[in-house]
Structure 1
Amino acid sequence: MAEDYERISLVKPEVFIYQIPPRASNRAVRAADWNLESPDWKGRLRVVSMGEKCLVKLEDKISGELFAVCPVDNFPGIAVEPVSDSSRYFLLRLQDPSGQNAFVGLGFEDRGDAFDFNVSLQDHFKMVKKEQDLAVESSQPVEHKDYSLKAGQKIQINLGKKVLQKDEEEKSGPKQSLIGLSASGGLLPPPAGATPAPRTLQSAPAPAHNSQSTQSKSDDWGDFSVFDSSSKPKSSGEGSGWVQF
């Protein structure tokens, strides 16, 4: 990352700064010891990343004038330390241009703002760690492995019993039980030169006719004589082409 490139990862329009008493021992800091009802300063907070550096800037929320800066070299660490009795307050180490340090109390309006503050600092150092790991990997020489076959080296491939059995079945053709069946399921005609098997035909019994009914039909049509177009009419009174009674 370029050193002169500034990336803003968090902006909170209003935070509270408290003057705290000197720390007498290494015991945990409690926000209840501060005068929380009367903050000593109110303003805007920005978390800014510049390369591997991370800065917590306190600015005037109207003019944007810089009030104080907290350089964060590690989180959690001595630069930003959470208090023991609340998730909204932190112990902040400010640093002036001459390098002198001063510890103040930092407070947020609600827990959501304090959570965003935590996440922004954690994300910065995760990104720095990732870029450092990538730089180390790129600087290491890449090992090239030779996978080519050496002179006289052979490779054995086991195709398996099932694969060989399947190939033999495909070469031998379809099974005997399937011979003689067409695609539609019917029987195929015998091959050329084969003698078909004799078939026995059973004679169907002759249908029984009613002699009386046959005779009746013959009598009904016996009086009709069909006119022959080639014959001449018998008389002038008979119409040609019609049947005679």
Structure 2
Amino acid sequence: MSSLRILVGVKRVVDSAVKVRVNSAQTGVETANVKHSMNPFDEIAVEEALRLREKHGKEKIKEIIALSCGPAKAQETLRTALALGADRAIHVKSDDVLEPLTVAKLFSKVVSNEKPDIVILGKQAIDDDSNQTGQMLAGLLNWPQATFASKVAINGSSLEVVREVDGGLETVSSALPAIITTDLRLNEPRYASLPNIMKAKKKPLQTVLPADLDVEVRNRLQTLKVTEPPKRQGGKIVASVDELLEKLRETKAL
């Protein structure tokens, strides 16, 4: 089997530890002066690519490429991926809001240029929770897909992926090239060491525009209004099981 190349998608999102607030215009969440980081599911995707190379060696996994679509600050996220162990990065620069279909089209163009054997994406981004890009990318490329992966193995010229489904676990086999989207239990991402953070500054990072890839950025959805969820009402202590049942009947009647 010839050596493989892995493309990993990473997205810059509001850090998962930040308590998000709706902006004053109610058009989205407040992002000014808010800490951003790599999407947690994408951290898992990067980690899995690194583990596959550590398991099979650089002779089989010859290159890991990180790809991100977004504003100039997305390069910070790409540098994080480089510090973790990716070999080089590609930034599709756009200040527009990119919907999943547009991102999938941009990825498909990069895939056509780079010709990776495996594309690993987080199953969803924690900002919009769309869970669409990986599936759309597979459709555009006409590649097999293994979503919600909790275990990945390379067997010769094919993949074996354990998927998390409603009924438990499902094991699928796929020919290469293929798309993988990662679930939470796939692995535990590592931290970048200081020496690797310094080395990442010298690794190649290419910037292209959507127009360079012949992709039109056109949004099909319009956000009408963003509001915070209603505050949870306080609970009430009941004196007996009969009273609890009566309260449940009243709630169901409403």
Normalised-by-shorter TM-score class: under 0.3
The structure in which a higher percent of residues are strand is 2
Give the structure, 1 or 2, with the largest relative contact order (CA under 8 Å, sep 6 or more): 2
Kindly name which structure, 1 or 2, has the bigger radius of gyration based on alpha carbons.
Answer: 1
TM-score (normalizing by structure 1): 0.20
TM-score (normalizing by structure 2): 0.19
The structure in which a higher percent of residues are helix is 2
